[in-house]
Amino acid sequence: MTFLKPNFEVTEGRANDFENLAELYETIASTISNKAFFNWNQKKAEEEIAIAKTFLMKDEMDGSIQAFVTYRDYQDRYEISAIGTNPKHLKMGFAQKVLTALQANAAQRRLAIWLEVHENNQTAINLYLKNGFKVLNTRKRYYPDGGDALVMQFTSV
């Protein structure tokens, strides 16, 4: 039997992606043993997705969304709301791909990218550090569990 190699593509999220995207948020929130994502659920994700922008990683074979980075475009800067990968497909470079797309877009517009990340979310911190984000400061007890937020920034220029 021949297995076709799946192809994945990064696209900008459109209205007809929103429902599936919000479902992926819910899946991640309910699967990952990562307190940093517990504050997301499908409803909150729907509200955020509607006012934000998103780069998606889709499986071209079935159109399923495998990873995303959702961000606010404040015209003078971007702020990442959330990044996530289908828990079945972690460590395959998917988050890297959507983040690279966002960074290329920000560089084109000469915008910095800001974010807050839970101090204990080492997986995400590694991803950001690997991609040139720097820790600027800390917001003490920022999260409901009492954890601090690291404020990180990426500048392309």
What residues make contact with ligand COA under the rule CB under 6 A?
28, 32, 34, 36-37, 67, 82-85, 90-96, 117, 121, 123-124, 126-127, 130
Alpha-carbon distance of 132 to 1, in angstroms, equals 43
Q: How far is the CB of 133 from ligand COA (least distance, A)?
A: 11
Q: Considering beta carbons, is residue 64 or 157 the nearer one to ligand COA?
A: 64
Q: How far is the CB of 59 from ligand COA (least distance, A)?
A: 13
Using only C-alpha atoms, what is the Rg of the chain? 15
Q: How far is the CB of 91 from ligand COA (least distance, A)?
A: 5
Q: Considering beta carbons, is residue 14 or 130 the nearer one to ligand COA?
A: 130
Q: What is the DSSP letter of 157?
A: -
Are 91 and 67 a contacting pair, CB within 8 Å?
Answer: no
Q: Considering beta carbons, is residue 5 or 157 the nearer one to ligand COA?
A: 5
Distance in Å from the first CA to the final CA of the chain? 50
Are 36 and 117 a contacting pair, CB within 8 Å?
Answer: yes
